Amino acid sequence: MRINDTLIDDTFAEAFPMKATRLVITAHSSTWARHAADSLTGFATSVIDCGCEAGIERDLSGDETPDGRPGIAVLIFAISSKELAKQIARRVGQCVLTCPTTAVYGGIDPANTRAPLSDNAPLGAALRFFGDGYQISKVLDGTRYWRVPVMDGEFVCEDFTATVKAVGGGNLLFLARDIDSALHAAESAVAAMHRLPNIITPFPGGVVRSGSKIGSKYAGATASTNDAFCPTLVGLSKKSELTPDIACVLEIVIDGLTDADVGAAMTAGIAAATNIGRAGGVLRISAGNYGGKLGPYHFKLHELSKDIDGSRA
């Protein structure tokens, strides 16, 4: 399949089940909400070593938040409910409770979510003890909130946040003529994806250059460089999937609350990159998989691309 003369590989991205939640962080100004969100989502690119994958979903206006203040929605993903709860408590405690003027609320509406509900993870239920006995709670419309005294007034925190079954590891690989073309494609794709709800791209700027494969020649290493897509290994790696005209490959990893969310984001990314096309240096689009052994979600690139303008067999 080709779109704007960019070849779409006949392959699939392989994704796996995760657990996730949305948190709504509010503050006296959007600047301070952003400071807290940036800190909370730091060092959260991959569950391999970070414990979770997290990112900013979108900015929120005052009429979209529980307390009428500007806010930011963040999504956090982990492999298990236990790990997700641990990461939420640590990151909110260290990065939101500490940030001037902030409050935090659960952002999953059980009545309206399309993602299957999983459990509840503690927010204020865990952080209230920082109040050293001075904390108080109040129940409004059936939801408990905690008010914890801090030096700028009070830290308000919802008791729990709902968690859902989610999907992690959707991905796209952009194979380009040079670094400028690859960055243009990746940046355009990330921007297109983030116009959609319920997804994050957890790596820096949404893009990762160090795509990996499972295993290594070195004992104890669980992952290593994806030599099949390393341009400097053409002619050296027997598994290379590159031709000499490809000088740069960049990857986008997508986590979403449902498989439909991940698929929609991938389609948006493909459309943005192929809009640049071969003339702009985007030679191929591919995806990473492990032959179906990693996870049950298989996002086939040809199926995702079939309705994009200009697609042809």
Q: Specify whether the CB–CB gap between 178 and 278 falls below 8 A.
A: no
pTM above 0.85, yes or no: yes
pLDDT in tens, 4-43: 999 999 999 999 999 999 999 999 999 999 999 999 999 9
Instruction: State both tokens at 303.
Output: 């199926």
Q: Please give the average per-residue pLDDT across 247-274, as a whole number.
A: 98
**What is the model's pLDDT at position 281?**
98
**What is the model's pLDDT at position 310?**
81
Neighbour-count burial of 240, counting CB atoms closer than 10 A to its CB (0-12 exposed, 13-18 middle, 19+ buried): middle
Is the model's pLDDT at 215 over the cut of 90?
Answer: no
Distance between start and end Cα atoms, the chain:
4
Is the model's pLDDT at 301 over the cut of 90?
Answer: yes
**What is the model's pLDDT at position 114?**
86
What are the structural domains, with CATH classification, of the chain? 2-14+167-312 (3.30.70.520), 19-164 (3.30.70.520)
Residue 214 pLDDT grade (very low, low, confident, very high; cuts 50, 70, 90) = confident
Q: Please give the average per-residue pLDDT across 99-106, as a whole number.
A: 98
* CA-based nearest residue to 144, from 123, 117, 163: 123
**What is the model's pLDDT at position 111?**
82
